[in-house]
Structure 1
Amino acid sequence: MEKKQSNTAAVRPVPLDFTESQGFDERGTKRLLRKLDWHIIPFMSLIYLLCFLDRTNIGNARLDHLEQDLGLHGVQYNDCLAILFPFYIAAEIPSNIMMKRIRPSIWLTFIMVCWSASMIGQGFVKDYSGLLATRVFLGVFEGGLFPGVNYYITQWYCRHECGFRMAMFFSAATLAGAFGGILARGIAEMNGVSGIAAWAWIFILEGLLSILVSFVAYWAIYDYPATATFLTDKERDEVERRLQADSGHLSNDFNIKYVWQAIKDWKIYIHMFICMAGFCPIYSFALFLPTIIKNMGYTANNAQLMSVPPYVCACFFTIVASWVADRYRQRGIFLLGFQLVAILGFALLVSSGSSHIQYTGTVFAAIGIYPQIPLGLAWNSGNIGGSLKRGTGIAMQVMGGNCGGIIASYVYLNRDRPRFIVGHSILIGVVGTAFFLTLIMTIWCRRENSRRDALAMEVGVQELTEEQKVLEGELADSVPWFRYTV
């Protein structure tokens, strides 16, 4: 891997129009991207589906008497939700550094085996303390997957191509919600089999499914373009050339100073808050939607099934919106639109006691909140120059997002049943905050690009020496020729 990095850093940037002279015209490039998509995205989506399912299936288990069997009372259930997130957050930056230091196939396989074992163990807990302990281990080992895979995608695709791929990957979270409801409804029929309750079977069977997939992960995950066996030599060169042309001569070296560059970058902190305001309603939704629907008057089994359609709608809009955003190379305007849709959804939940209007509100809320995450991640990652700074910045952003998970664990409290008006109102405020932060970043990026364009007009085209290129390479996205995605 070190050899690959040093070779990449030594190659001079090549203009994108060089593609055709190497046999990769527009049609050839599309074929290459489709080949990458088929070999990378489906398996990444599968393991994230399992990860999100394992993290949020406690919401489905709750309807099958989890609280009663474990003797949970007050906010103890909420505590068990919240305890996962501090450990999840703490694992994210170290995990992305490990992704940079060792092969993704080794690291992702390792954490997947560990969280699957934790999930199976969650099915055998007997009390509150046991559930807390297993949720801690689940957080530690799941924490590296989401930022790790988003960083991994940026190692294969150009900046304007990442959003759609991140959306395909993240759409697995919506499928996990839909699949989880259907699966939980089926597993409910196993109540009492071998003396084990239905809620425990949910944890055990879904954990076993994850661990079976983890056994093939090592062979299914391709590390980097330079070592990808499914690519020809010519295709490997083209993938690396495109990445080089996209990033210019920004450094890809492993040096801790690029971690500190990310930590000191104020823009990443804004994206952290936007991501937190996006993940807060998503986790609230994923953890409590079955309960919310049940309190509309549906039976527990019907509530499991009624939780499926909002996720299906969210999946469709997540993929389509990110594809369109990639096509037009815009992020902020799409984020602003979906944030308004989310506010509308939660407003419908607050404003009416009609089950039909409330259920419509859950659909609008799902459509509004889920596309925000891949759009926001693609926006932030595309606006960070340099490989290690980007990996750290993505991890920081997801850390901020998962702070929203801690808040989400206490948004819907039993005392606010059945309408949960307080919880819905909190989420309106959270998404509204994200709207204003997104607007600020959109305006700033446009103005900064205009300033750099004006500066470039004044200075004109200059040929840099190799020494100047090395110095510029260490500046990441602060180099004058870098333009931000808006």
Structure 2
Amino acid sequence: MDTKALQIEDTLARTDLEDRDSSVNSHYEANEHVLASDLHINEKKLMRKIDWRVLPILCGFYLLQAIDKGNIGLAKLGGIQQATHTQGSLFNWAVAIFYLGYVLAELPCNLILQRVNPRYWLAFATLAVCRFFLGVFEAGILPASVLITALWYKRSEHATKTGIWFSFSSLGSAVGGIMSYGIQGNLANAGGREGWQWLMIIEGAATIAWAIFAFLVYPNVPEKARFLNEDERTFVLNRQRLDHTQNTLKFDMAQFWEAVKDYKTWVLFCIYFIWQAVNIAFSTFSPSIIVGLGFSNLNAQLLSAPFNLFNLFLQIVLSVISDRLKDRSALLITCGLLSTVGYISIVAIHNNNHLLYGLLFFTSFNSGSLTLILGWMTNIIIGNTKRTVSSSIIIIGSSLGAFAGSQVYQDSDAPRYIRGHTTNLCLMAIGIILVLILRLLLMKENRRRDKIAREQVEAGLTKEVEVIKDVTTLVNQNFTDKSDMRVRYYL
């Protein structure tokens, strides 16, 4: 094994949070710059190269899966309920069955991802067309995307990169609304088919085409990526290691049980459950909510698009700010409060439909901050098997939340849907409290680790950091956030 000691002391022992963050950044950047110099790598150029190979495919998947997943809400306005005889709560169950499939397949999909290259799973998942089986196979898309992001990028980049590909889900919802307006408005009864049927056919065909394209062009994992040379692969793998981010895809049973027993997993499970329940409740039924404000069915499809474009804007901006501040929870709490203000206003105000339509935009702070939860998850849960299992559990929470959220708005509550809005309001209040609790617990743990690190420095127990050039050694590093006391949790 070829190694080169960098002779840089580990200066993580600072009790003051701001000073500690500064020392961590300096420590990491010094190692990274020496690594780049030793391997003759231009880091910015290399990461742009990786961005253009990794992110566009993920963006395409999220654009199309959002269109496919959300078109049932738009098809409702085009007559799918009457054609399928799913009036009242039956339609809610038709929406919810997708998430049942998602829940059932989530953990198996994540365990498969420990054995199968995520590149192959992404392409296969998009070929499902039946709503239940779409949920079953789509269960692999989110965890595979999270895993790919964690394999290629350091923790301080996770929120931004996640925000980029996840925001295309909002773009997909916006595009879906516009496509629905055009397709259902112009192709109704064309070729003997209803407008909503053409909606499903056209959008499904686009998804299949993208799946084939992605399978052919998507890059492999870093240590096998053919578009990188040997030095570039070595740099990426060491870059991840120095950031305390694991590279291996091997399954580790000890990490499996550590994930199950970690309180962070279950608090994030509850937070994601709540955030997604509110998101799905509103986003799926927003066309019907807009109709309740006095707009026509066709115009409601068009008027639902601005919410999704605003979500896209929020997801990218909040993710970038979060990475700059290295803080997820403060922004989550802020967005939760703004969303709560929106629901309070909607419930309280009467007889001003245009104002109510404007106030609906406050609800976007809920869906616009979903990427912060994913970024927070990858930052505070480290170890590949541990992260995979924890993300499975947390995403199951999201799916159960979506399942519950699909029942929040009922046709019997039209046109104002007060009960649904009030339910979302109460859920957001609980979610904010849970985020605050997790933040305080992580602050306490960071202070404990600072104290231990300070004592080690005072005792002269500093450590050297090595650059490892042997790829086999790099991909077999085995540690978690619990075992590596140098890890500090992002708040």
- State TM-score, norm by structure 2: 0.88
What is the root-mean-square deviation of aligned Cα atoms in Å?
2.6
Counterpart-to-counterpart distance in 2, 1:176 and 1:370: 14
The Cα of 1:33 is off from its aligned counterpart by 2.1
Among candidates 23, 33, 44, match of residue 20 of structure 1: 33
Among candidates 60, 63, 75, match of residue 77 of structure 2: 63
Matches within 5 A, 1:346-361: 346-353=343-350, 354-361=352-359
The Cα of 1:198 is off from its aligned counterpart by 0.8
2:188 match: 191
Counterpart-to-counterpart distance in 1, 2:463 and 2:44: 33
Does 1:309 pair with 2:306? yes
Alpha carbons of structure 1 residues 300 and 89: separation in structure 2 relative to 1, 3 Å: same
Alignment partner of 1:91: what SS?
helix
2:44 match: 30
Does 1:379 pair with 2:376? yes
The Cα of 1:399 is off from its aligned counterpart by 0.9
Counterpart of 2:446, as a letter, is: N
Alignment partner of 2:426: what SS?
helix
Counterpart-to-counterpart distance in 1, 2:336 and 2:44: 32
Whether the aligned pair in 2 keeps the contact of 1:268 and 1:396 (CA below 8 Å) is: yes
2:363 match: 365
Whether the aligned pair in 2 keeps the contact of 1:250 and 1:475 (CA below 8 Å) is: no
Alpha carbons of structure 1 residues 11 and 435: separation in structure 2 relative to 1, 3 Å: farther
The Cα of 1:250 is off from its aligned counterpart by 9.1
| CA offsets 1:370-396 (integer angstroms, 9 cap, x no match) | 232110111111111211111111121
- What is the number of residues matched between the two proteins? 457
The Cα of 1:27 is off from its aligned counterpart by 10
Does 1:224 pair with 2:221? yes
The Cα of 1:332 is off from its aligned counterpart by 0.8
Matches within 5 A, 1:101-180: 101-113=115-127, 115=128, 118=129, 134-180=130-176
The Cα of 1:253 is off from its aligned counterpart by 3.7
The Cα of 1:230 is off from its aligned counterpart by 2.5
Among candidates 409, 434, 437, match of residue 437 of structure 1: 434
Alpha carbons of structure 1 residues 403 and 248: separation in structure 2 relative to 1, 3 Å: closer
| CA offsets 1:328-372 (integer angstroms, 9 cap, x no match) | 211110111111111122222212231122111221111x11232
Alpha carbons of structure 1 residues 24 and 403: separation in structure 2 relative to 1, 3 Å: farther
Greater shift in the superposed pair: 255-264 or 23-32: 23-32
The Cα of 1:21 is off from its aligned counterpart by 3.2
Does 1:340 pair with 2:337? yes
- State TM-score, norm by structure 1: 0.88
Whether the aligned pair in 2 keeps the contact of 1:81 and 1:409 (CA below 8 Å) is: yes
Structure scoring higher RCO (CA < 8 A, sep ≥ 6) equals 2
Counterpart-to-counterpart distance in 2, 1:476 and 1:328: 21
Among candidates 316, 319, 323, match of residue 316 of structure 2: 319
Among candidates 465, 477, 490, match of residue 485 of structure 1: 490
Counterpart-to-counterpart distance in 1, 2:157 and 2:389: 20
Whether the aligned pair in 2 keeps the contact of 1:105 and 1:219 (CA below 8 Å) is: no
- Flag structure 1 segments of 5+ consecutive residues without an equivalent: 1-6, 119-133, 467-471
Alignment partner of 2:243: what SS?
helix
1:85 match: 99
Greater shift in the superposed pair: 29-38 or 145-154: 29-38
| CA offsets 1:389-443 (integer angstroms, 9 cap, x no match) | 1111112111111111111111100110000010001001111111000001111
2:295 match: 298
Alpha carbons of structure 1 residues 11 and 53: separation in structure 2 relative to 1, 3 Å: farther
The Cα of 1:321 is off from its aligned counterpart by 1.0
User: Identity of aligned pairs, percent?
Assistant: 30
Greater shift in the superposed pair: 30-39 or 415-424: 30-39
Whether the aligned pair in 2 keeps the contact of 1:12 and 1:249 (CA below 8 Å) is: no
Alignment partner of 1:247: what SS?
coil
Alpha carbons of structure 1 residues 11 and 196: separation in structure 2 relative to 1, 3 Å: farther
Whether the aligned pair in 2 keeps the contact of 1:335 and 1:375 (CA below 8 Å) is: yes
Counterpart-to-counterpart distance in 1, 2:204 and 2:372: 30
Greater shift in the superposed pair: 429-438 or 338-347: 338-347
1:53 match: 67
Whether the aligned pair in 1 keeps the contact of 2:115 and 2:250 (CA below 8 Å) is: no
The Cα of 1:135 is off from its aligned counterpart by 2.3
Counterpart of 2:64, as a letter, is: L
Alpha carbons of structure 1 residues 175 and 391: separation in structure 2 relative to 1, 3 Å: same
1:428 match: 425
Counterpart-to-counterpart distance in 2, 1:408 and 1:314: 18
Counterpart-to-counterpart distance in 1, 2:339 and 2:172: 20
